[in-house]
Protein backbone atom coordinates (compact mmCIF):
# COMPACT_ATOMS: atom_id res chain seq x y z
CA UNK A 1 0.00 0.00 0.00
CA UNK A 2 2.85 2.37 0.75
CA UNK A 3 4.33 1.84 -2.72
CA UNK A 4 0.92 2.25 -4.35
CA UNK A 5 0.34 5.54 -2.53
CA UNK A 6 3.79 6.76 -3.56
CA UNK A 7 3.15 5.88 -7.22
CA UNK A 8 -0.20 7.66 -7.11
CA UNK A 9 1.48 10.80 -5.77
CA UNK A 10 4.02 10.72 -8.63
CA UNK A 11 1.23 10.20 -11.18
CA UNK A 12 -0.65 13.10 -9.60
CA UNK A 13 2.42 15.33 -9.97
CA UNK A 14 2.94 14.19 -13.56
CA UNK A 15 -0.71 14.88 -14.44
CA UNK A 16 0.18 18.56 -14.61
CA UNK A 17 1.75 17.86 -18.01
CA UNK A 18 -1.70 17.01 -19.40
CA UNK A 19 -2.90 20.52 -18.62
CA UNK A 20 0.33 21.84 -20.11
CA UNK A 21 -0.57 20.00 -23.31
CA UNK A 22 -4.12 21.41 -23.34
CA UNK A 23 -2.76 24.92 -22.82
CA UNK A 24 -0.20 24.49 -25.60
CA UNK A 25 -2.82 23.21 -28.04
CA UNK A 26 -4.92 26.29 -27.30
CA UNK A 27 -2.00 28.71 -27.70
CA UNK A 28 -1.03 27.11 -31.02
CA UNK A 29 -4.60 27.10 -32.35
CA UNK A 30 -5.92 29.54 -34.92
CA UNK A 31 -7.73 31.65 -32.30
CA UNK A 32 -6.01 31.34 -28.89
CA UNK A 33 -8.17 32.12 -25.89
CA UNK A 34 -5.92 33.47 -23.14
CA UNK A 35 -8.58 32.90 -20.51
CA UNK A 36 -8.81 29.20 -21.31
CA UNK A 37 -5.02 28.92 -21.28
CA UNK A 38 -4.89 30.53 -17.84
CA UNK A 39 -7.51 28.10 -16.53
CA UNK A 40 -5.38 25.13 -17.63
CA UNK A 41 -2.28 26.71 -16.07
CA UNK A 42 -4.16 27.41 -12.84
CA UNK A 43 -5.16 23.76 -12.54
CA UNK A 44 -1.48 22.84 -12.99
CA UNK A 45 -0.57 25.30 -10.22
CA UNK A 46 -3.12 23.74 -7.86
CA UNK A 47 -1.60 20.32 -8.53
CA UNK A 48 1.86 21.73 -7.86
CA UNK A 49 0.68 23.34 -4.63
CA UNK A 50 -0.77 20.12 -3.25
CA UNK A 51 1.60 17.38 -4.41
CA UNK A 52 4.44 18.40 -2.08
CA UNK A 53 2.45 17.93 1.15
CA UNK A 54 1.18 14.60 -0.18
CA UNK A 55 4.71 13.47 -1.01
CA UNK A 56 5.88 14.35 2.50
CA UNK A 57 2.79 12.78 4.10
CA UNK A 58 3.38 9.43 2.39
CA UNK A 59 7.22 9.52 2.56
CA UNK A 60 7.50 9.14 -1.21
CA UNK A 61 11.26 9.73 -1.28
CA UNK A 62 11.81 6.84 1.09
CA UNK A 63 9.30 4.44 -0.46
CA UNK A 64 10.32 5.05 -4.10
CA UNK A 65 13.87 6.43 -3.95
CA UNK A 66 14.60 5.57 -7.61
CA UNK A 67 11.87 7.90 -8.92
CA UNK A 68 12.85 11.55 -8.56
CA UNK A 69 9.69 13.52 -7.84
CA UNK A 70 11.70 16.74 -7.99
CA UNK A 71 12.60 16.01 -11.63
CA UNK A 72 8.95 15.42 -12.54
CA UNK A 73 7.99 18.57 -10.66
CA UNK A 74 10.67 20.70 -12.34
CA UNK A 75 9.73 19.55 -15.85
CA UNK A 76 6.04 20.26 -15.32
CA UNK A 77 6.78 23.56 -13.56
CA UNK A 78 9.05 24.81 -16.32
CA UNK A 79 6.35 24.08 -18.88
CA UNK A 80 3.45 25.58 -16.91
CA UNK A 81 5.18 28.39 -15.01
CA UNK A 82 7.52 29.56 -17.77
CA UNK A 83 7.43 28.08 -21.25
CA UNK A 84 3.70 28.11 -21.98
CA UNK A 85 2.99 31.54 -20.41
CA UNK A 86 5.85 33.06 -22.40
CA UNK A 87 4.70 31.17 -25.51
CA UNK A 88 1.33 32.85 -25.02
CA UNK A 89 2.99 36.26 -24.60
CA UNK A 90 4.92 35.71 -27.85
CA UNK A 91 1.96 34.28 -29.78
CA UNK A 92 -0.35 37.19 -28.91
CA UNK A 93 2.49 39.73 -29.20
CA UNK A 94 2.03 41.21 -25.75
CA UNK A 95 5.61 42.48 -26.03
CA UNK A 96 7.06 44.49 -28.93
CA UNK A 97 8.47 42.87 -32.06
CA UNK A 98 10.75 41.03 -32.40
CA UNK A 99 9.19 39.11 -29.52
CA UNK A 100 12.23 36.84 -29.17
CA UNK A 101 14.27 39.83 -28.03
CA UNK A 102 12.18 39.86 -24.85
CA UNK A 103 10.97 36.29 -24.48
CA UNK A 104 14.27 34.50 -25.12
CA UNK A 105 16.16 36.02 -22.13
CA UNK A 106 13.27 35.10 -19.83
CA UNK A 107 13.13 31.52 -21.12
CA UNK A 108 16.89 31.02 -20.74
CA UNK A 109 17.15 32.73 -17.35
CA UNK A 110 14.28 30.65 -16.01
CA UNK A 111 15.84 27.45 -17.32
CA UNK A 112 19.10 28.33 -15.58
CA UNK A 113 17.12 28.96 -12.42
CA UNK A 114 15.48 25.54 -12.62
CA UNK A 115 18.88 23.94 -13.20
CA UNK A 116 20.41 25.67 -10.18
CA UNK A 117 20.39 23.07 -7.40
CA UNK A 118 20.63 25.85 -4.83
CA UNK A 119 17.71 27.87 -6.17
CA UNK A 120 15.13 26.07 -4.04
CA UNK A 121 15.95 25.90 -0.35
CA UNK A 122 13.17 23.86 1.25
CA UNK A 123 14.94 23.97 4.61
CA UNK A 124 15.10 27.76 4.64
CA UNK A 125 11.79 28.13 2.81
CA UNK A 126 13.02 30.32 -0.05
CA UNK A 127 13.46 30.41 -3.80
CA UNK A 128 16.68 32.10 -4.92
CA UNK A 129 15.89 34.76 -7.51
CA UNK A 130 12.55 35.58 -9.11
CA UNK A 131 10.81 32.17 -8.99
CA UNK A 132 9.60 32.15 -12.62
CA UNK A 133 5.99 33.08 -11.87
CA UNK A 134 5.50 33.88 -15.54
CA UNK A 135 2.01 32.39 -15.45
CA UNK A 136 1.05 35.19 -13.04
CA UNK A 137 3.01 37.89 -14.87
CA UNK A 138 1.38 36.90 -18.18
CA UNK A 139 -2.09 37.67 -16.78
CA UNK A 140 -1.04 41.29 -16.22
CA UNK A 141 0.91 41.52 -19.47
CA UNK A 142 -2.28 40.66 -21.36
CA UNK A 143 -4.15 43.48 -19.61
CA UNK A 144 -1.35 45.96 -20.26
CA UNK A 145 -1.13 44.94 -23.92
CA UNK A 146 -4.87 45.56 -24.33
CA UNK A 147 -4.14 49.17 -23.36
CA UNK A 148 -1.23 49.44 -25.80
CA UNK A 149 1.55 49.14 -23.23
CA UNK A 150 3.67 46.54 -25.04
CA UNK A 151 6.90 48.44 -24.42
CA UNK A 152 6.20 48.53 -20.68
CA UNK A 153 5.59 44.78 -20.89
CA UNK A 154 8.90 44.30 -22.65
CA UNK A 155 10.74 46.21 -19.95
CA UNK A 156 9.02 44.19 -17.19
CA UNK A 157 9.92 40.88 -18.86
CA UNK A 158 13.59 41.85 -19.21
CA UNK A 159 13.82 43.13 -15.62
CA UNK A 160 12.29 39.94 -14.24
CA UNK A 161 14.60 37.85 -16.44
CA UNK A 162 17.55 39.55 -14.75
CA UNK A 163 16.00 39.12 -11.28
CA UNK A 164 15.68 35.38 -11.98
CA UNK A 165 19.45 35.00 -11.66
CA UNK A 166 19.97 37.64 -8.94
CA UNK A 167 20.56 36.31 -5.38
CA UNK A 168 17.35 37.57 -3.80
CA UNK A 169 15.12 35.30 -1.75
CA UNK A 170 11.39 34.79 -2.35
CA UNK A 171 9.29 32.81 0.11
CA UNK A 172 8.34 29.27 -0.84
CA UNK A 173 4.57 29.62 -0.10
CA UNK A 174 3.99 26.10 1.28
CA UNK A 175 6.98 26.56 3.60
CA UNK A 176 6.35 30.16 4.62
CA UNK A 177 7.33 31.18 8.18
CA UNK A 178 4.53 30.43 10.61
CA UNK A 179 3.86 34.12 11.29
CA UNK A 180 3.20 34.73 7.60
CA UNK A 181 1.82 31.40 6.42
CA UNK A 182 -1.88 32.15 6.89
CA UNK A 183 -1.52 35.57 5.28
CA UNK A 184 0.46 34.23 2.32
CA UNK A 185 -1.68 31.16 1.61
CA UNK A 186 -4.97 32.87 2.47
CA UNK A 187 -3.95 35.93 0.46
CA UNK A 188 -3.19 33.70 -2.51
CA UNK A 189 -6.76 32.37 -2.41
CA UNK A 190 -8.20 35.89 -2.26
CA UNK A 191 -5.91 36.93 -5.11
CA UNK A 192 -7.04 33.93 -7.16
CA UNK A 193 -10.68 34.91 -6.56
CA UNK A 194 -9.95 38.43 -7.82
CA UNK A 195 -8.28 37.04 -10.94
CA UNK A 196 -11.34 34.84 -11.51
CA UNK A 197 -13.53 37.94 -11.18
CA UNK A 198 -11.48 39.62 -13.93
CA UNK A 199 -11.87 36.80 -16.43
CA UNK A 200 -15.36 37.68 -17.75
CA UNK A 201 -13.92 41.08 -18.78
CA UNK A 202 -10.42 39.94 -19.73
CA UNK A 203 -8.24 41.47 -21.16
CA UNK A 204 -9.99 44.72 -20.13
CA UNK A 205 -11.21 44.13 -16.58
CA UNK A 206 -12.03 47.13 -14.34
CA UNK A 207 -8.76 48.87 -13.54
CA UNK A 208 -9.73 49.20 -9.86
CA UNK A 209 -9.97 45.42 -9.62
CA UNK A 210 -6.59 45.09 -11.35
CA UNK A 211 -5.04 47.55 -8.88
CA UNK A 212 -6.53 45.71 -5.90
CA UNK A 213 -5.25 42.38 -7.23
CA UNK A 214 -1.72 43.80 -7.33
CA UNK A 215 -1.74 44.32 -3.56
CA UNK A 216 -1.07 40.64 -2.88
CA UNK A 217 1.95 40.26 -5.24
CA UNK A 218 3.39 43.44 -3.69
CA UNK A 219 2.76 42.10 -0.17
CA UNK A 220 4.37 38.75 -1.06
CA UNK A 221 7.44 40.47 -2.53
CA UNK A 222 7.94 42.83 0.42
CA UNK A 223 7.53 40.04 3.00
CA UNK A 224 9.89 37.79 1.01
CA UNK A 225 12.65 40.39 0.89
CA UNK A 226 12.14 41.20 4.58
CA UNK A 227 12.33 37.54 5.62
CA UNK A 228 15.28 36.86 3.33
CA UNK A 229 17.21 39.71 4.93
CA UNK A 230 16.57 38.14 8.35
CA UNK A 231 17.57 34.67 7.08
CA UNK A 232 20.74 36.04 5.53
CA UNK A 233 21.63 37.57 8.87
CA UNK A 234 21.22 34.13 10.43
CA UNK A 235 23.38 32.43 7.81
CA UNK A 236 20.78 30.83 5.52
CA UNK A 237 22.24 28.50 2.91
CA UNK A 238 20.81 30.72 0.15
CA UNK A 239 22.66 33.73 1.47
pLDDT digits (tens, 9 = 90+) for 9-57: 889 999 999 999 999 999 999 999 999 999 999 999 999 988 888 888 8
Asked whether residue 140 carries a pLDDT value surpassing 70, the answer given is yes
Residue 168 lies in a domain: no
* 65 within domain boundaries: yes
Overall domain count for the chain: 1
Q: Note whether residue 195 is domain-resident.
A: no
User: Residue 75 domain-assigned?
Assistant: yes
Residue 35 domain-assigned (yes or no): yes
Whether residue 217 is contained in a domain is answered as: no
- How far, in Å, are 49, 51, 57, 160, 206 from residue 45 at the CA level? 6, 10, 19, 20, 25
pLDDT at 237 over 50: no
Question: 120 in a domain, yes or no?
Answer: no
**Phi, psi at 127, each rounded to 5°:** -95, 145
Look up the domain containing 74 and give its range: 1-90
Is the residue at 114 inside a domain? no
Amino acid sequence: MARLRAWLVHIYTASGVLFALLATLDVCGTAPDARRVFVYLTIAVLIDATDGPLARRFHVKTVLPHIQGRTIDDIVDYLTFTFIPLLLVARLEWVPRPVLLFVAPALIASLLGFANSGAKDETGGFFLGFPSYWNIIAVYLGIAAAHGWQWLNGAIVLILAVLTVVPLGFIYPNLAPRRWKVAILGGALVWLAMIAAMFPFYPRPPLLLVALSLVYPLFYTVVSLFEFRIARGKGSRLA
